[in-house]
Amino acid sequence: MAPEAQQESREILWERLQSALSASEFSLQYYPLWGKTGHLQGAEIQVRWHHPHYGLLQPAQFLSAVIQCDLAGALFGWIAAQSLPLLRRLRQEVYPDFYLSLTLPLSLAEQVDTFTVWRQALVAHDLPCSALALIWQGALGQNVEAAQLAGLRRVQQQGYAVALTEYGADYHLLTALPDLPLDHLYIPAALVALLPHPEAMLLVKLLLDLAEKMGIRCIAQGVDDIQRFECLSTAGCRHFQGAYLFRPMSAHQLLVMGRLLAESEDEAASRS
């Protein structure tokens, strides 16, 4: 495509995305993260675009275009405006260390200035940067690119929690994890789905042991039934996400669920 055509296409896309933000075509759901007893610890923000022509779009279908058009800051500002008042209430009423996480493409790690809008919004809501975990998704090579590594370090230095969900083909990146600036490790849903296969259990235990040695949290994704929950619990996992207990929910549903669980825990504590 000629440079002029590329620029024209980019301008059209920019206008469409701006219009989508103004018309409230984006929506958020929250996928709870929970502990071994069902205690709510946090929630993953899931962004959806209700496109008038293409229907419901997942982030993988539009986020790269948002980044290409330099609209990541605008989208993040909208997400922050929707989610941070909720986070503040959850930390006040449910769990003081409740946090939100957001999955982003690894390519964005090099554009640290994009997160200025998050820092400003967190400060405005009297929330620490550690209340937001950034989950980086994408292919890391055998040797992590210097720009990506520098970006991850800068993100962590700014106070955000840093997490990875992918470890390369055949999990070859595991040996490099201790050298990366990480606060959380994830046990991928694709691996959890293979449980209780012995080789899958071996990899799960390896990730749990690695997280323990690094002194960071290890969260299992895709925990959708009791068998996988029990396999992970037996292996020593204490942090989970999946439909076994919770599915993605609205902000109102998350707040109500959090309050009910907190009240139940308080009642149980008073009886003991």
Tens of pLDDT, residues 152-184:
899 999 999 999 888 877 777 788 888 889 999
Please write the tens of the pLDDT for every residue from 92-147: 999 999 999 999 988 888 887 888 899 999 999 999 999 999 999 876 655 557 77
pLDDT of 128 reads 96
- State the pTM of this model: 0.91
Domains of the chain: 27-182+242-271 (3.20.20.450)
CA distance 35 to 267: 18
Provide CB contacts within 8 A for 214, sequence distance 6+.
177, 178, 182, 185
Question: Rounded CA gap, 255 and 242, in Å?
Answer: 18
The model's pLDDT over 227-238, given as tens digits with 9 standing for 90+, comes to 999 999 999 999
Strand pairing of 239-240 and 217-220? parallel
Q: Pick the closest to residue 121 from 94, 146, 136, 100 (CA basis).
A: 100
